[in-house]
A and B are shown apart, each in its own frame.
Chain A
Amino acid sequence: MIKQDLNALEEKSIYIIREAKLKFKNIAALWSMGKDSTTMLALTRKAFMGKIPFPVIHIDNGIDFPETYDFREELAKKWNFKVIVGHSEIKPDLVGSACCGKNKPETLKKIMAEYGFDALIVSIRRDEHGIRAKERYMSPRDEKFRWNYKDQPAELWDDYTSKLDTKGHIRVHPLLDWNEIDIWNYVKRENVPVNSLYFSRNGFRYRSLGCTHCTVAVKSNAKNVDGIIKELETTKIEERSGRSMDKENEYVMQRLRQFGYM
């Protein structure tokens, strides 16, 4: 796993987050309480003089980890930002992991429409899964949240030219260039608060967080951020291997993507 220059990554992300806020009229960010979207919030505070000038959305299926709920409330209070909680239902979906599937975008759609958001910051990284390597920094979704990956607008230099010419919205991806290890190095350097589920208990920890039903802990003795960094420097196993969703067929992932999940 390649360790990148944190300052360079940070500058680029700050630029993109500012660009999202200043280019669009009404933006929000998705927050899963995981390390990536929390790092995104830390970067937002750097971009906006310690403030988080937009609401963050948590799509809650009711069976998230108790630690996650705890973390949500603590951090929202500490960093003083608005959380919009959308309750999603558990329904069957395309990959058989009902809790994180098609029902989440449906809830998100409702929230986006209710608040009239025209852009949404999503903290995905290219190294998470092959399919995400195709993403742009700013990527349009149509009114049904579909991603037309075959006909994406040109994205040149720093000018993320995405034009909003449908009733859809723009997905903004400020962490696209970060690798998993960069996130942890940044968490360490900046003291970014993280969910306690990431740290080992009884020989297991969570490497990537979904909900209590789709996330499987991985073997690990990493009890703190340093331990995690050390572990990542030697591992050859992919991050999301602990989530049952990703083991499913890639064709299905691709379809899910078109349906607006992720």
Chain B
Amino acid sequence: MSNKINDIADALWKDESERNWKEFAKTLPKSGLRYYRVVFLKGEKLKKAQDLTKSYAELYDAKERLVAKIPIFEKKGKRIEGATYYMKGLLTINKVDEWVK
């Protein structure tokens, strides 16, 4: 199962297209994934949509094991938009040990 998600994650890293995101959302319910964490690099501030390329999301399973990392934006032609909507169904993990602000 997680292989499938990793395939889609790879596809997303290559092309953050609507098609790949929809595929991700479709796969999510049966993926065994349960939690997510949004990470952005220390010192980086979100100033414009382009900055979303500097952040990503980690996906965890029910036992809080890291399964995959995915981008957090969607390419719409030349524009970049946030894509957390596609992660609907996941819950925040709030893991403290490597909390990045």
| Physical contact A–B (CB less than 8 Å) | yes
Q: Is A62 an interface residue (CB 8 A)?
A: yes
Q: Which of A64, A89, A91, A196 contacts B91 (CB 8 A)?
A: A196
Q: Is B17 an interface residue (CB 8 A)?
A: no
Contact yes or no, B83 A62, CB < 8 A? yes
Which A96-139 residues have a C-beta within 8 angstroms of B? 96-99
Q: Which of A61, A62, A96, A197 contacts B92 (CB 8 A)?
A: A197
Distance, CA A98 to CA B49, complexed state (A) = 9
Contact yes or no, B91 A62, CB < 8 A? no
Distance, CA A92 to CA B47, complexed state (A) = 5
Q: Which residues of A contact B45 (CB under 8 A)?
A: 96-98
The tally of CB-CB contacts under 8 A between chains A and B is 88
Contact yes or no, B92 A201, CB < 8 A? yes
Contact yes or no, B51 A90, CB < 8 A? yes
B63–chain A nearest beta-carbon distance, Å: 13
Chain B, residues 9-33, CB within 8 Å of chain A (1/0): the string is 0000000000000000000000000
Q: Which residues of A contact B46 (CB under 8 A)?
A: 90, 97-99, 213-214
Distance, CA A151 to CA B98, complexed state (A) = 49
A71–chain B nearest beta-carbon distance, Å: 10
Q: Which residues of A contact B48 (CB under 8 A)?
A: 90-92, 98
Chain A, residues 61-100, CB within 8 Å of chain B (1/0): the string is 1111111011001000000000000010111100011110
Q: Which residues of A contact B8 (CB under 8 A)?
A: none
Chain A, residues 133-172, CB within 8 Å of chain B (1/0): the string is 0000000000000000000000000000000000000000
Q: Is B5 an interface residue (CB 8 A)?
A: no
Q: Which residues of A contact B82 (CB under 8 A)?
A: 61-64, 90, 211
Contact yes or no, A204 B88, CB < 8 A? no
Contact yes or no, B94 A66, CB < 8 A? no
Q: Is B67 an interface residue (CB 8 A)?
A: no
A260–chain B nearest beta-carbon distance, Å: 20
Chain A interfacial residues counted at CB < 8 A: 35
Q: Which of A63, A66, A98, A205 contacts B47 (CB 8 A)?
A: A98
Contact yes or no, B96 A213, CB < 8 A? no
Distance, CA A66 to CA B57, complexed state (A) = 11
Contact yes or no, A204 B94, CB < 8 A? yes
Contact yes or no, A66 B85, CB < 8 A? yes
Q: Is B68 an interface residue (CB 8 A)?
A: no
Distance, CA A19 to CA B24, complexed state (A) = 45
List the A residue with the shortest CB-CB distance to B81.
A62
Distance, CA A197 to CA B37, complexed state (A) = 13
Given A98-B46, A216-B101, residue A65 in contact with residue B94 (CB < 8 A) = no
A89–chain B nearest beta-carbon distance, Å: 6
Which B42-101 residues have a C-beta within 8 angstroms of A? 45-49, 51-52, 55, 72-74, 81-85, 87-96, 101
Q: Which residues of B contact A213 (CB under 8 A)?
A: 38, 40, 46, 55
Given contact pairs A62-B82, A201-B92, enumerate 14 new A-B contacts (beta carbons under 8 Å). A60-B85, A63-B52, A65-B92, A66-B88, A66-B90, A67-B92, A87-B81, A91-B48, A98-B48, A197-B92, A203-B96, A204-B94, A205-B94, A211-B82
Residues of B within 8 A of A (CB): 36, 38, 40, 45-49, 51-52, 55, 72-74, 81-85, 87-96, 101
